[in-house]
Amino acid sequence: MNNLKNLRFNCLRCGNCCTDKNTLVNLTYFDILRIKNGLDLDINEVLDILGFFIFKEKINHEDRKRMVIAPIETEKGLAYIALLKNSLGGCYFYNSEKKKCLIYDLRPMFCRTFPFSFETLDEIKEETNSLINIFYTEKGKEYCPGISNEAPLIEIDYWIERGKKTLNELKKNQSLIKKWNERVKNGEIYPTAKKFLSMVFELIEY
């Protein structure tokens, strides 16, 4: 188990996490609603900024269990919902001239938590007196220069609170996707992207 008191990070605003071609910014329904409400978009406008990225290969049960955000069933196959890419393979909302995010205050959870990920522990971690573990993501270790021995130690209390919120949102998101996927399998819904978004927009809880 890693020692949270040794985690170091300082964002250098290099833009690597916004421009990496192989990174998809997966969205929870909280992210979708935040962007929709913040930019005052209708359903077609939301569809214009989202990608439903279809899995080309079959994924097994073990693969699914490892996914932080589960894919949804669509009429074209299993799909990840993520922000659209720009023509260079970076995030649609990244302004490379100004090196800034165009929706910073509305940015998805993935962006708010990068380069960290969280897990719930079975026992309280003594050093922080909490049930949350925090660790660097593989992508973070791969290309985030903000992780370095020169960077300051992270504020643990802040990141634990963020971790709790994140895990809570992920849990609710998984539950919604599970229900959607079950309804599709039972033949209750014809699973278009538009229909999925309509369901999300009807959610009262936000």
Residues within the interface to ligand SF4 (CB under 6 A): 11-18, 25, 83, 91, 93-94, 101, 103, 107-108, 111, 114-115, 143-146
Question: How far apart, in whole angstroms, are the C-alpha atoms of residue 23 and residue 202?
Answer: 29
Of the pair 76, 100, the CB lying nearest ligand SF4 is at: 100
- Which residue has tokens 């490892």? 66
CA 197 to CA 189: how far, in whole Å?
Answer: 13
CB-nearer residue toward ligand SF4: 17 or 193: 17
Q: Which is nearer to ligand SF4, 43 or 151 (CB)?
A: 151
CB of 135 to ligand SF4, least distance (A): 15
CB of 183 to ligand SF4, least distance (A): 30
Instruction: Judge residue 71's burial from the number of C-beta atoms within 10 Å of its C-beta, 0-12 exposed, 13-18 middle, 19 or more buried.
Output: buried
| Minimum CB–partner distance for residue 110 and ligand SF4 (Å) | 7
Quote the CA–CA distance of 175 and 70 in Å, as a whole number: 10
| Residue with Cβ nearer ligand SF4 (16 or 74) | 16
Nearer to ligand SF4, 25 or 81 (CB): 25
- Measured between alpha carbons, how far is 10 from 154 in angstroms, rounded to an integer? 8
Q: How far is the CB of 1 from ligand SF4 (least distance, A)?
A: 24
Alpha carbon separation from 52 to 29, 128, 136, 197 (Å, rounded): 13, 38, 27, 11
Question: Residue 57 Cβ, how far from ligand SF4 at the closest point, in Å?
Answer: 25
Task: Choose among 182, 178, 176: nearest CA to 201.
Answer: 176
Q: 120 in helix, strand or coil?
A: strand
